[in-house]
Amino acid sequence: MTKYQAHRLAIAPMMDWTDRHCRYFHRLLSRRTLLYTEMVTAPALVRGGAMHLLDYSPEEHPVALQLGGSDPAELAAAAKLGAAAGYDQIDLNCGCPSDRVQSGTFGAILMTEPDLVADCVKAMQDAVSCEVTVKCRIGVDDQDPEQVLPDFLSRVAAAGCRRFTVHARKAWLKGLSPKENRDIPPLDYDLALRMKTAFPELHISVNGGVATLDQAQAFLAAGFDGVMIGRAAYHQPWDILAEADTHIFGAKAAPFSTPDQAARAMLPYIETHLAAGGRLHQITRHMLGLFTGRPGARAWRRILSEGANRPGAGPELVEEALTHIRAAEPAG
């Protein structure tokens, strides 16, 4: 598999969700899908020395580091740290709409400053040998996406960026919360697809509202180079990730035939984490959706949610939750 094939399907960077434990779990389900870190701010790495934010397991490859920032020199320094840590690519966040991101002058607000984004990309590319990519919106606030998006792509591509993920929804930075920004502004997949026609030399993935692999396949068939899925993959990891290698990448077989097998495959990782002083909840919170839509799913979620935070909770709690899955399975 080439690095370009991995971009056919990616799991979106999601704050407080796609940490290293989540990514390890997701990688067990899919060997091929591209994974992303949560957004890591360049100041946290360069000024704060928060190198633990770069921790990951070798099994996570292919994995991308997403950076937030707007200072070219600082982003270049952060990119160097990420490349030295072994990340497969470095992504610049130009799409997050949160107030915290706006106050730091990065995220979606950068859609208003394409020349600054171009300078940031150029500085990052000069600092590292791995690929530098950009995740953006179609526009913000009162901008006209029909004009803003092609201009943004053109300017940033002129700096050397060849790979973009377009969240096909405008970000409203005034008056809407980050949660509302995920649903209220209308999606414009057609505009994002027209960008592929306008910039055939660019690799363009679409993001926003994709909930199934059937949707992802339809977008690929329509002409997108890749698809990025967010919340659906987190809440229904078996339905999305366990089927991805076969349906999206043409692999012969998925790593596991049942979600029960996937849960058991996490036990050694859980034991290692606990032995290092970690807590069960830090891992199992990412596994709550494993049995979504299947018998016993409610008991699985309840047992892990209620028990994983208790002192001394360990792999036996996962085993207990699995007994409820087996008990709920149809006879025969």
The CA distance from 223 to 154, in Å, is 19
For residue 85 the two structure tokens come to: 């840590």
Strand order in the sheet with 35-41: 9-11, 226-229, 203-207, 163-167, 131-137, 89-94, 63-68, 35-41
CB atoms near residue 277 (< 10 Å): 6
In the chain, which residue ranges form alpha helices assigned H by DSSP? 3-6, 20-29, 42-46, 72-85, 99-103, 114-127, 145-158, 189-198, 213-222, 231-235, 237-247, 259-265, 267-275, 281-284, 297-307, 315-328
- Catalytic residue list contains 96: yes
User: How many residues are given for the chain?
Assistant: 332
* Long-range CB contacts (within 8 A, 24+) of 214-218: 216/9, 216/248, 217/247, 217/248
Residue type at 139 in one-letter notation: G
Distance (Å) of CA 188 to CA 154, 185, 191, 308, 310: 19, 9, 6, 41, 45
Q: Under 8 Å CB-to-CB from 87, ≥6 apart: which residues?
A: 37, 54, 56, 63, 64, 65, 130
For 146, half-sphere exposure in the C-beta direction (CA atoms, 13 angstrom radius) is 0
Q: Provide the 3-class DSSP secondary structure of residue 217.
A: helix
The CA distance from 80 to 132, in Å, is 11
Closest CA to 108 of 80, 76, 68: 68
Catalytic residue among 96, 120, 136, 161: 96
Query: Could you tell me if 65 and 90 are in contact, meaning their C-beta atoms sit under 8 angstroms apart?
Result: yes
The neighbouring-strand residues paired with 68 are 41
Residues with a known catalytic role: 96
